[in-house]
Structure 1
Amino acid sequence: MVPDTIDHLMTLGLKKDEAEVYLELLAEGTSTVGALAENTGRHPDSVHSCFEALADAGLVSVVNADRTSVTPIPPGPGLDLLTRRRDLELTQARITAMNAFDVFRRSISGDPAEHLIEVINGPAVVDRIYQLERSAHTEVRGLDSPPYYADADANQVELDNLAGGVRYRVVYAKVALERTEYLAGNVVPAAKSGEEARILPDVPVKLMIIDDDCAVVSLSAGDADANQSALLIRPCSLLSALVGLFEMCWRAALPLSLGAGTEGPYLQPSERRLLGLLAAGIGDDQAARSLGVSRRTLFRHLESLMSRTGAANRFQLALHAMRNGWI
């Protein structure tokens, strides 16, 4: 039983000596470096290193100031952390293996441009896009429109990247924001986490650019039903053209204010979202559904904003909002 348990703990990412010390702690309970070293014949420095690794993994808790005594704690959160770390390591290993294959393919290919464009088909599209997105170091740029290969939930990869300092600039097609679930479950959480969002009536292509390393071009809504696939573009003149296309769209698009922002002294978050949706050209019915209110309540919010700003109509309200940096 114990050897199997050690093997399983090593599969999750613990070293053999760390797994053995953990099981010894489970047998003894709270222990110090000196006591466990004496009982097991291990060197105290080795035991202390294992204690630190187990504490970092969330499997034990340090109980004294000099970190020489620990006690086991419920392992659920710690095991979840180890599992996520292992998943990340496997993902990185997969990327490394794929990069190694690309080097091999280029070395035997007589066509130097053969590796610049890759067709990704079927179920692999989602995994490959997330894999590439995880590799971003500086910036991810996107032109966003349906169809969506994943569900409407927030893109956790983007949220993690934003938390890690990666900049996101996204231009949404109007039709993307008309999807209530996608707006509430994906666009709004990203905007609140720091995504810079803008909107156009339509975008010329569904596009994601990762740093200046590659771009993924997906099929439009009309073509996707026939063939779910995407093109991976590596550094070449086509990638440069796609970067230029994005920057043109970015300059032409209108800001979309759905994040937390710097609110005025009496502007509520729901009112800011309402102004952002209306400025984006979203209709009354769709805006009401996105906010989770009735059409009547929506009009009441608008009347309140117009009354408080002195605006006689929606156009004047929009001007007031823009001058005060609300949208």
Structure 2
Amino acid sequence: MSFVRLIIARLVASVLTLLLVSVVVFTGVQGLPGDATARILGREAPQEARDRLRAELNLDDPLVQRYVRWAGAALKGDFGTSFASRQPVTDYLAPRLVNTLALSGLALLFYIPLSILPAIAQAPRPDRALDRSITVLTVAILSAPEFLSATLMLFAFAVIWPIFPPMVQLTAGMGWPAYLHALTLPALTLGLLLATYGVRLLRESLLEIYRSDFVRMAEFKGLSDRRILWRHVLPNALIPWMNATALNIAFMIGGVVVVEKVFAFPGFGSALVSALQLRDLPVISAGVMIAAAIFILVNLLADIGALIANPRLRSRQ
């Protein structure tokens, strides 16, 4: 199968997956117990007002018809109005999503070297002092709760060494230097927490590739260790790392609530948690769909990256 046909097949599968997710999300949200009009107007609202609102929201229409209407509006970027803030969901979530994307992008810049370089240092000489030291450090970080690691980073770099602010305060008029300075500590914390998974996975992948026959053949041919690593070992070992990185990126978008709470960061994850607590159904639906779309997109990009990094995968399809 050609490279273009593989990409098209992955793209079609991604679109179908997103469509299935939209059906599940809409059905699940609509199936939550309780009356939506009571959540909007309050339980003490008169029945006439609630009936009028039900008619305005078309809540008495068949479920399929409501889904088609909701999906069509969502494709145009219209997710309705928030029950809690009384503002369009897009206007409510957009700045928080931008903040989280900026945080995730900066965290990814920390994540890549923090997950690749230690594994490269470990794999050629396993069970040596450096390998054991890095292993102990990564296991310690993995074993600690995320809020504890984030709090320690906050205490170290905002209290003991006051390099960064303890709380992220983003204003409309702040410049890029101040914006990046405010994001650096939570991004470094997030990148470090996620890099521990990447280090462990990439180390094991590198060790497995180093034991392969083609690597031994390259050694017999007299190739240098550096050439073997960068030309033969690392490209093959990066494939599972890319898949794990895709999951980590998706986690950065919707699952960084702990880091956002510790640093008081106005992000997408904390907004979604607040919507769940307030039972703000339009925000919940939009948030889950946005997170799912990003998750599917990064997995698609990971598949494309794996096909580019290892052409042999194309011949297996």
TM-score bracket, normalised by the shorter chain, equals under 0.3
Q: Considering fraction of residues, name the structure with more helix.
A: 2
RCO comparison, higher one (Cα < 8 Å, 6+): 2
TM-score (norm 2): 0.20
TM-score (norm 1): 0.20
Q: Considering fraction of residues, name the structure with more strand.
A: 1
